[in-house]
Structure 1
Amino acid sequence: MTAAPGPRLQNLWDDNRAKGMSEPEKLLYRSNLLGSDKRITNYGGGNTSAKVTETDPLTGQPVEVLWVKGSGGDVGSIKMDGFATLYMDKLRALKGVYKGVHMEDEMVGYLPHCTFNLNPRAASIDTPLHAYVPRAHVDHMHPDAIIAIAASKNSRELTQRIFGDEIGWLPWKRPGYELGLWLEKFCVENPEAKGVVLESHGLFTWDDDAKACYELTLATIQKAMDWFAAETAGKAVFGGAKHAALPADQRRAVAARLMPAIRGMISGLHPMVGHFDDQPAVLDFVNSVKLEPLAALGTSCPDHFLRTKIRPLVVGFDPGNPDLDATLAALKGEVEAYRDGYAAYYDRCKHPDSPPLRDPNAVVYLVPGVGMITFAKDKATARISGEFYVNAINVMRGADTVSEYCGLPEQEAFDIEYWLLEEAKLQRMPKPKSLAGRIALVTGGAGGIGSATADRMLREGACVLLADIDAEALDRTAQNLSGRHGRDVVRTVSMNVTKEEEVIAALAHAAAEFGGIDILVSNAGIASSAPVEQTTLELWNRNMDILSTGYFLVSRETFKVLRAQGMGGSVIFVASKNGLAASPNASAYCTAKAAEIHLARCLALEGAEAGIRVNVVNPDAVLRGSKIWSGEWLDQRASTYKTDKEGLEEMYRQRSMLKRSVFPEDIAEGVYFFASDLSSKSTGNILNVDAGNVQAFTR
């Protein structure tokens, strides 16, 4: 386990593309280029700005305007509307209002008074850090290589050694108005300097040209990377290896066992979603001699800290003697000890006006020999939190190899985490959607009902694992849903519900990808039509295998995960009107569907004490988008009712009491009802979505 140099940063600036751009457009271009490489800055981290001459909409006269990344934005994905715009003369006038550090937070309230052209984008707290640097273009980035310098015990000395007088150094100061004045003073006193390293924080660079500023930022970061590569070549990192990593499949299997258990322990306030990462940087750290002492120091950069909490939880797992049952037995005590430690940290550091104690559970869980697990309220945040901790690992790797790594002081960390301005930002967050933090498995996910159901749940904030036997259709469906809802929340698994090993693997996949499961939509289907004397044993068994045995296998494995979590859950069977009402020439199908419905009743009895609800949605004649209506079944049913394909849907519509067609989206609404808290007091129920069929009335 030794430090190794990575690929060099690429200069992606294209003069032909930039030609003809306005200064704000060049700012956007520069920002997106910088944010495209996580070695330059992490997601949501850093700021960029440009001071631009604009025409005042009131006077028609030219005025100087600061364009700066708005609050909560990400430079890699920002658009033009993501920048705040402020009059520079008004920003300078704020100096007359400022009376000292005691009113620093109040200065944020004055920023809206400086808004140019009624721009609704809120300015971030970092705005003064850009406004008062007397250069046209400013980049503030959080590169791992620079933060490794900034988080070293002798960071000032290292900065001077690597950059000379070209890049200066400032001691730790929480971002805000006062730090903006510090930067201005530094620039005035050091007019030849091209940037500054902020202790435990990051890098500022500046220039009067957009391209030159971009290239300076890259060159400064690359210089730090090159220095670390030379300085750490051949040296053991993190004190060397203490453990060996398990093989990849075993690492994932351990994560799949641990994640539902952890999820159940930490979802008391709201359901959490997990993310697993076993990339080489993570494995180097979790297998190292210095894992526990370095992890205890926490992160340094404020952006890292806000996403990953004061410190991670190191799970007591020994990959050399992998007793997973013993690890799971000890987990509850480890999680409780972390909560107690976090509460004690809050009590030590709180102020009279501090916000109340927040969720005391860890975000990051480090497992020797296995990797890193992160949990958050949604998948994207869990993934991004993991990315931030990888940044922190890279920082610790560099700082610990060339110096002594220093985490953010506890009180400073608390003052950022429980900053009243951060609390106000949290309070402005939109209300969670009804299925936020929930994880659903949808079998038959590539069909019309399955994909409509997945879409309905995704719209309500759930994560969805689509399972289907048709790999090509599954891929098309996943691409469609990911395009609308994002890649974080959609996963797929090829699964034959009649194959026990594939079902077990699918549930493990759900656990490793999302942390567990809350909702099972058992929807895999088949249909057959034949008079009883022409129904072969093979046809009979095929219906029973898929519609009865398959539903049993998926439910059994889902119950195991739901019980491991201890959070309750919802199981919904998509059955059929034919499970209640006999239909001619379909004895195998009708009987299998009746067995399916009765299985649901049995499971409702077994699951109730654990808060696991089991209900049934009964469709009828859902032709549009349904794969079972695209083959022989369509011809067979048309023949049974002595009509053609075109007349069959009209026949079903006229047969219904409401004289209406039933669509996949209608079934999805019924499934959503049972999946959501709207039906929190319902189990063992059957909901017919068939436009009315008197024969299928439940009795």
Structure 2
Amino acid sequence: MTSATHAEVAALLERAHRIGSDPRNTNYAGGNTSAKATETDPVTGGEAELLWVKGSGGDLGTLTEAGLAVLRLDRVRALKDVYPGVEREDEMVSAFDYCLHGKGGAAPSIDTAMHALVEAAHVDHLHPDSGIALACAADGEKLTAECFGDKVAWVGWRRPGFQLGLDIAAVKEANPQAVGVILGGHGITAWGDTSEECERNALWMIRTAETFLEERGKAEPFGPVLPGREALDPEARRERAAALAPVIRGLASTDRPQVGHFTDAAHVLDFLSRAEHPRLAALGTSCPDHFLRTKVSPLVLDLPADAPLEEAVARLQELHEEYRDAYRAYYERHAIPGSPAMRGADPAIVLVPGVGMFSFGKDKQTARVAAEFYLNAVNVMRGAEAVSSYAPIDEAEKFRIEYWELEEAKLRRMPEPKALATRVALVTGAGSGIGKAIAHRLVAEGACVVVADLDTANAQAVAEDLGGPDKAVAVTVDVTSEEQIAEAFKAAALAFGGVDLVVNNAGISISKPLLETTARDWDLQHDIMARGSFLVSREAARVMRAQGLGGDIVYIASKNAVFAGPNNIAYSATKADQAHQVRLLAAELGEHGIRVNGVNPDGVVRGSGIFAAGWGAQRAATYGIEEEKLGEFYAQRTILKREVLPEHVANAVFALTGGDLTHTTGLHIPVDAGVAAAFLR
């Protein structure tokens, strides 16, 4: 890899960051930028003309030098002499590997030819909503001329590849006054002799198109408001969205599990309230970057916003079957021998008028980005309809992109998903101690986690430490409150689409002899752990049954559930209650694919919120030892002579839920380093 201190490389990265930081310029991971310059060849000592271009899969806003492919321009240009024609142009991508300069760098993308063959030192290829609106208008070529005059040329739709690079290069050569082109059905490409000129030209094209659409466009491009499709008030939207999310996620996960995302952005709600939204949604998205993430079209609920919930659920189920049938038919219409297998017939985008948009993907970021792309598509439709009519590329071309072997190869290069990928977990008492360790382990294994804790600040700190909202969200929960528990599960549904894995970990410990244990002590201990676990499990079962995806409920019980120790009546009785809840719920929920298991820790002193809150001092006094030696004391009384840490409990939770124990329910796993008196019988 060449040095990032090269002036043109530095300018390219700075330009990419500025352009990529503004969603008006391009979508996430969309578009690419390049620079051409000379550098000393380390072999010959002569000058080598190089191309630095954003590699496959990168994002402009966060681009680093490692994300650039570096190629020798003489070798890329020499490919013109061996180009076998458009029917075999995909072969050219593998040829780029033989044009690379040095080691490292990103894999060259399909757009490499565009950047290499256009005779300009700097090239930007972007997907701005305003540019795509012109590119997807029925009379886009005419509108492009009206908008830009002869400074921007038109290139008709062609799938990205070597031929498109040749086409753009030819158009530039034939139009020396042009600073860029509109690519029909796709986006824009701009160029310049310097990085500054290229960026200036690209931004001029984008802003000029925005102004043109605003000044020339009609006021209501999506038509009048449809009665009954107006947005519900914010609280009603949230309630309806939270109720529908698990159902919709279950439908969208028919072929493979998905993580969900919900948005009620104003542009989405306005689009769904208008008379033309069914027609436009059916036309699908157009820009390849869009429909690769959103599929060719969304599923749209065709009921009033305030329809009864049961009616909405039933209709969604009907529409889902229709969508799957239509998608299979779409695949069969266009698949040819050698086409990749159908990847799944479920929608990636589900639109509910009056409520908002649900989007789905293999993880939270993918689901969120899919929503962002569909919002881009709505903006494109608005612009195109404002000055003309929306006319995306035809279905056959969409299929060629969606089931492109090059895209399939990119998918094959993706790393294998982690064991808990697509799973959403809710962990109570996750702001510290064992719960915090469990949350960390679950996220490390690919899960999204709802960090539930009575201490809001602790929950927020843990969620932030886990990676923020694409990985974890914090909720404040007093597990004795039915209302707060219900709100926590609503938050999970809105953040990730539902819940698959619940860990009942919240608790306190009161260590007193029988005669000193008050009724209040007894009630508080049971309210938090026995009643709290029951309430959380009940809400979990409600959501999991609505999803229809099965699930896991894990109780963090205790060795004390089966071992009779001194001065521990309230705590140990509560743990015995939790242990039997495991057995009862395992028997009841198994028919729904919900497994219920438990973990019985003992002596978790270091890192434990319970021990730090006074329990440690009480137990140390009971055993007549110093509190700081309590962990060592517990370890020495075990068979293995090892201290138990929160991470060991987290390991057990993963063992129960990570996919290997698929036929296990009603089990309690001891994590106590071996206490013979607590062996399960």
- Following the alignment from structure 1 to structure 2, what is the Cα–Cα distance between the partners of residues 299 and 681? 42
Q: 1:687 maps to what in 2?
A: 669
Cα pair 1:317 1:324 within 8 Å, conserved: no
| Partner SS state of residue 39, structure 1 | coil
Cα pair 1:256 1:509 within 8 Å, conserved: yes
| Partner SS state of residue 252, structure 1 | helix
**Does residue 280 of structure 1 match 2:266?**
yes
Q: Please report how far the alpha carbon of residue 317 of structure 1 lies from its aligned counterpart in structure 2 after TM superposition.
A: 3.0
- Following the alignment from structure 1 to structure 2, what is the Cα–Cα distance between the partners of residues 135 and 264? 50
Identify the match of residue 469 of structure 1 among 454, 461, 464: 454
Identify the match of residue 48 of structure 1 among 2, 9, 33: 33
Q: 2:679 maps to what in 1?
A: 697
- Following the alignment from structure 1 to structure 2, what is the Cα–Cα distance between the partners of residues 256 and 101? 49
> So what's the TM-score if we normalise by structure 1?
0.95
Identify the match of residue 234 of structure 2 among 229, 234, 248: 248
Identify the match of residue 607 of structure 1 among 589, 601, 605: 589
Q: Please report how far the alpha carbon of residue 120 of structure 1 lies from its aligned counterpart in structure 2 after TM superposition.
A: 4.5
Residue ranges of structure 1 left out of the alignment (5+ in a row): 1-18
2:109 is matched by which residue type in structure 1?
S
Cα pair 2:83 2:89 within 8 Å, conserved: yes
Which moves more between the two structures, 419-428 or 433-442? 419-428
**Does residue 579 of structure 1 match 2:561?**
yes
Q: 1:137 maps to what in 2?
A: 122
1:300 is matched by which residue type in structure 2?
S
Q: 2:432 maps to what in 1?
A: 447
Identify the match of residue 248 of structure 2 among 245, 250, 262: 262
- Following the alignment from structure 1 to structure 2, what is the Cα–Cα distance between the partners of residues 487 and 368? 25
Deviations 1:257-310 (A, max 9, x none): 222112222323321111001111111111111110000101111111111111
Q: 1:7 maps to what in 2?
A: none
Q: Which aligned pairs between 1:121-200 and structure 2 lie closer than 5 A?
A: 121-200=106-185
Q: 1:635 maps to what in 2?
A: 617
Q: Which aligned pairs between 1:97-136 and structure 2 lie closer than 5 A?
A: 97-136=82-121
- Following the alignment from structure 1 to structure 2, what is the Cα–Cα distance between the partners of residues 362 and 211? 42
Identify the match of residue 626 of structure 2 among 639, 644, 661: 644
Q: Stretches of 4+ moved more than 3 A in 1?
A: none
1:673 is matched by which residue type in structure 2?
A
Deviations 1:305-363 (A, max 9, x none): 111111001013311x4211111112221101000001111111122221122201111
Deviations 1:438-470 (A, max 9, x none): 110000011211111111111111111110001
- Following the alignment from structure 1 to structure 2, what is the Cα–Cα distance between the partners of residues 492 and 158? 49
2:308 is matched by which residue type in structure 1?
D
- Equivalent pairs counted in the alignment come to 676
- Following the alignment from structure 1 to structure 2, what is the Cα–Cα distance between the partners of residues 410 and 326? 32
Q: Please report how far the alpha carbon of residue 199 of structure 1 lies from its aligned counterpart in structure 2 after TM superposition.
A: 0.7
1:128 is matched by which residue type in structure 2?
A
- Following the alignment from structure 1 to structure 2, what is the Cα–Cα distance between the partners of residues 664 and 635? 19
Q: Please report how far the alpha carbon of residue 20 of structure 1 lies from its aligned counterpart in structure 2 after TM superposition.
A: 8.2
Q: Please report how far the alpha carbon of residue 533 of structure 1 lies from its aligned counterpart in structure 2 after TM superposition.
A: 1.0
Cα pair 2:586 2:665 within 8 Å, conserved: yes
Cα pair 1:298 1:311 within 8 Å, conserved: yes
**Does residue 590 of structure 1 match 2:572?**
yes
**Does residue 205 of structure 1 match 2:190?**
yes
Please, what is the CA RMSD of the aligned residues? 1.3
Q: 2:22 maps to what in 1?
A: 37
Q: Please report how far the alpha carbon of residue 99 of structure 1 lies from its aligned counterpart in structure 2 after TM superposition.
A: 2.8
- Following the alignment from structure 1 to structure 2, what is the Cα–Cα distance between the partners of residues 557 and 373? 22
1:261 is matched by which residue type in structure 2?
V
- Following the alignment from structure 1 to structure 2, what is the Cα–Cα distance between the partners of residues 20 and 628? 53
Give the % identical residues.
49
Q: 1:406 maps to what in 2?
A: 391
Q: 1:653 maps to what in 2?
A: 635
- Following the alignment from structure 1 to structure 2, what is the Cα–Cα distance between the partners of residues 442 and 257? 21
Residue ranges of structure 2 left out of the alignment (5+ in a row): none
Deviations 1:654-698 (A, max 9, x none): 111111100011000000111121111111111000111111111
Identify the match of residue 336 of structure 1 among 304, 321, 325: 321
- Following the alignment from structure 2 to structure 1, what is the Cα–Cα distance between the partners of residues 291 and 631? 59
> So what's the TM-score if we normalise by structure 2?
0.98
| Partner SS state of residue 466, structure 2 | helix
Q: Which aligned pairs between 1:288-437 and structure 2 lie closer than 5 A?
A: 288-319=274-305, 321-437=306-422
**Does residue 497 of structure 1 match 2:483?**
no
Q: Please report how far the alpha carbon of residue 119 of structure 1 lies from its aligned counterpart in structure 2 after TM superposition.
A: 3.3
1:348 is matched by which residue type in structure 2?
R
| Partner SS state of residue 570, structure 1 | strand
- Following the alignment from structure 1 to structure 2, what is the Cα–Cα distance between the partners of residues 219 and 96? 35
- Following the alignment from structure 1 to structure 2, what is the Cα–Cα distance between the partners of residues 534 and 147? 75
Cα pair 2:30 2:289 within 8 Å, conserved: yes
Q: 1:10 maps to what in 2?
A: none
**Does residue 526 of structure 1 match 2:511?**
no
Q: 1:89 maps to what in 2?
A: 74
